């Protein structure tokens, strides 16, 4: 971790939890701090907590650039919040059950919701209403994207991007996937109308919001990567509970879904680096909590109990928001199983995972191939050739197979220790 990253984390802990900052002026390289904050999608959040001494210590040109970035985000957030209200209006007028996912639902937990940068409008509807929603979106001048994930349709137009979800995200098959879908069955019944900074809209219950955050974070981590904005979302959410409240609401259910260890490690990162209060529930089973204060250097029985926590933080910092800092991570993800089965032992396992991932790329851009799989080889040639040509012409970084394999292997080793979607049994 660089000095600038440590400084940025200290500033974020101050912004989120009013933690004091004890840093010398010599520690501030504002150019690098601002760049890191931008790549992690937290620049506006940090800017609004800067005191006058820190502002005076940075170059005036940089301050003006940062101020414009923060102002643009505030204005953009107003526009996107209005788009959320449009979804509420359109769904309510047509008597369609809906619930907001991420975005405003996440910013709702921040001390100042307006400082959390918003992106698309994500909302969940029952699958049976998808055709009706499609008609509503088109009526208001939005066009569905030709390609998309298998769980939502993205609509764009009139400076809007709205993602109508008929499932919250990809989930693995088998018992864990069945458990996840079971616990999401009552998401509409448990949701409620709440007042947000942008107005009234339907938000998920705390349990469902936490589950959506974990699933969303997990999926993006194994794809292009998550940044500090994702981590801050989890930090402010988890911090809204007491130790016992969180355990009573989540532990049994997350264990059944194979996400309890992930929740533990993600929260350890927030405790260690963002100033979240220490939690007893994050300790691994059987560990003496009194002798295991969260520390990156703590030795437990000859082993560093929090080594995985440190590695996960490094993975987040290396990625940036959706892989903004390292575009190769998207390519590496072709060798990483999205179902959490990252113990690929042999070259044959790796090749099989690559085969599955490339197929998913074709399905993403050409959904019709799912019904005509004989066309899969055409997609392999087309999209593989396009990637090579873009590398040659300089539109994308040239593909380095050796780095791709090594990078994917390092990430798999981290994710394997999270035991994603693995139940106690």
Domains and CATH numbers, the chain: 3-70 (no CATH), 71-313 (3.30.460.40), 327-417 (no CATH)
State the burial class of residue 104 (Cβ atoms within 10 Å of its Cβ: 0-12, 13-18, 19+): buried
Predicted model pTM = 0.87
CA geometry: angle 400, 147, 358, nearest 5 deg: 35
CB of 238 within 8 A of CB of 276?
A: yes
What element of type H or E holds 303? strand 303-304
CB of 135 within 8 A of CB of 116?
A: no
Say what the pLDDT of residue 85 is: 94
Give the residues of the chain that fall short of pLDDT 70: 23-27, 147-149, 284-305, 338-345, 425
Residue 213: closest CA among 234, 228, 229:
234
Convert the pLDDT of each residue in 183-206 to its tens digit: 999 999 999 999 988 789 999 999
| Token pair belonging to 366 | 């050409």
CA geometry: angle 75, 81, 86, nearest 5 deg: 130
CA distance 414 to 407: 11
Convert the pLDDT of each residue in 291-343 to its tens digit: 445 555 554 333 466 889 999 999 999 988 888 887 778 777 777 876 655 55
Report helix, strand or coil for 116: coil
């Amino acid at each position: 971790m660089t000095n600038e990253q440590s400084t940025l984390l200290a500033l974020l802990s101050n912004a989120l939890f009013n933690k004091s900052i004890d840093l010398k002026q010599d520690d501030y390289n504002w150019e690098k701090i601002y760049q890191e904050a931008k790549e992690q999608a937290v620049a506006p959040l940090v800017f609004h907590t800067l005191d006058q001494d820190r502002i005076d210590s940075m170059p005036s040109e940089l301050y003006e650039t940062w101020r414009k970035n923060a102002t643009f985000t505030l204005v953009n957030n107003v526009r996107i919040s209005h788009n959320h209200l449009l979804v509420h209006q359109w769904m309510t007028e047509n008597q369609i059950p809906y619930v907001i996912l991420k975005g405003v639902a996440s910013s709702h937990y921040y001390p100042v919701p307006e400082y959390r940068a918003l992106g698309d409008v994500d909302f969940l509807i029952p699958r049976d209403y998808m055709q009706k929603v499609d008609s509503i979106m088109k009526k208001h001048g939005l066009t569905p994207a030709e390609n998309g994930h298998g769980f939502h349709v993205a609509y764009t137009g009139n400076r809007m991007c709205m993602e109508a979800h008929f499932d919250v995200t990809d989930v693995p098959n088998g018992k864990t996937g069945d458990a996840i879908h079971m616990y999401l069955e009552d998401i509409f019944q448990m949701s409620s109308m709440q007042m947000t900074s942008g107005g009234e809209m339907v938000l998920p219950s705390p349990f469902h919001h936490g589950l959506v955050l974990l699933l969303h974070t997990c999926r993006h981590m194994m794809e292009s990567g998550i940044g500090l904005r994702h981590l801050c979302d989890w930090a402010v959410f988890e911090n809204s509970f007491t130790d016992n409240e969180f355990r009573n609401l989540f532990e049994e259910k997350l264990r059944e879904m194979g996400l309890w260890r992930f929740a533990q490690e993600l929260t350890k990162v927030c405790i260690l680096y963002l100033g979240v209060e220490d939690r007893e529930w994050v300790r691994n089973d059987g560990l003496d909590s009194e002798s295991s204060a969260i520390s990156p250097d703590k030795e437990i029985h000859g082993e560093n109990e929090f080594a995985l926590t440190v590695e996960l933080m490094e993975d987040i910092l290396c990625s940036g928001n959706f892989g903004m800092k390292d575009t190769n991570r998207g390519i590496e993800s072709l060798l990483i199983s999205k179902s959490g089965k990252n113990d690929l032992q042999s070259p044959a396992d790796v090749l099989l995972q690559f085969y599955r991932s490339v197929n998913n790329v074709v399905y993403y851009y050409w959904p019709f191939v799912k019904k005509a799989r004989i066309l899969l080889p055409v997609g392999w040639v087309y999209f593989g050739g396009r990637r090579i040509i873009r590398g040659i012409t300089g539109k994308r970084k040239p593909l380095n197979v050796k780095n791709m394999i090594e990078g994917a292997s390092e990430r798999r080793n981290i994710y394997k220790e999270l035991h994603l979607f693995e139940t106690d049994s």
